[in-house]
Amino acid sequence: MAANKPTLKTVRLTTPVEPADLAQLEIGNVVYLDGTIFTGREGVFKRAVHEGHGLPAPPEVIGNVNFHCSPAAARRDDGSYDIGAVTATASFRFAAWLDQWFEMSKCKVIIGKGGMTPDVYKKSFVPNEAVYLTTVGYGTGALLGRGIKAVKDVYWMDELGIAQAMWLFEVENFGPFLVESDLAGNSLFERENAKVAAGLDKVYEGLKPAIMSRYGETDDRKEELI
């Protein structure tokens, strides 16, 4: 298939994860999960942290793996749920809530899309002994959907709706994910960004500058754009 057949190290973890589980992870490892995970995105963070409602259930119930996600799901007539595809949403938007979120939830793994900045890993993840896993693709929604064996609970459905509610899933062989940030705060995306950036000048080489500059190309808002 691919010219360079991937041979990435693969790790399978059971939740709640233990410190030793996380210590073995290196950026670029492939991870699959078994056990309980809980979702959260802007609606949950706003309600739990910003509005001060706290978590709807204690860490012993929800576990320590938090997924920045909401599923494509529908409520059946009997009150149960039909879970279709599952994928993550972009995580960088949630950085502002992170410190209080770690303190409140005690979570040790955050799964999302696109990672956070290196500053956030150093400032928030490392002191809380947490790692970041990124979904793959993005959009392995069907594979991840297969990994969800049951909906254990849904919190704040009435307040937040299907797309923002906090879901508690029982998962099996749930993945694949890639380790984006390890316990030391190293970042896979940063490493790859740097490699790509090294070649960018050559890509743009020879292209003449634009006729008109654009607002935003400079931080000086008083500068005239010509």
- Contacts with another protein by CB under 8 A lie at 1-8, 28, 30, 69-74, 82, 84-87, 89-90, 113-115, 134, 136-146, 161-164, 176, 178, 188-189, 192-193, 195-196, 199-200, 203-204, 207-208, 210-212, 214
65-67 vs 30-39, strand pairing mode: parallel
Task: Taking the CA atoms of 145, 147, 149 and 154 in sequence, report the sign of the dihedral they define.
Answer: negative
Q: Indicate the residue type of 9.
A: K
Rounded to the nearest whole angstrom, what is the least distance from the CB of residue 89 to another protein in the complex?
Answer: 7
Rounded to the nearest whole angstrom, what is the least distance from the CB of residue 149 to another protein in the complex?
Answer: 14
Rounded to the nearest whole angstrom, what is the least distance from the CB of residue 30 to another protein in the complex?
Answer: 7
Dihedrals φ, ψ of 220, to 5°?
-85, 100
CB closer to another protein, 19 vs 216: 216
CB closer to another protein, 126 vs 136: 136
Rounded to the nearest whole angstrom, what is the least distance from the CB of residue 202 to another protein in the complex?
Answer: 9
Rounded to the nearest whole angstrom, what is the least distance from the CB of residue 128 to another protein in the complex?
Answer: 22
Identify each DSSP E strand in the chain by its residue range: 10-14, 30-39, 65-67, 73-75, 81-83, 109-112, 131-135, 148-155, 166-181
Cα of first residue to Cα of last residue in the chain, in angstroms, is 50
CB closer to another protein, 20 vs 226: 226
Check residue 161 and give left, alpha or beta (phi > 0: left; psi -120 to 50: alpha): left
CB closer to another protein, 16 vs 112: 112
CB closer to another protein, 16 vs 176: 176
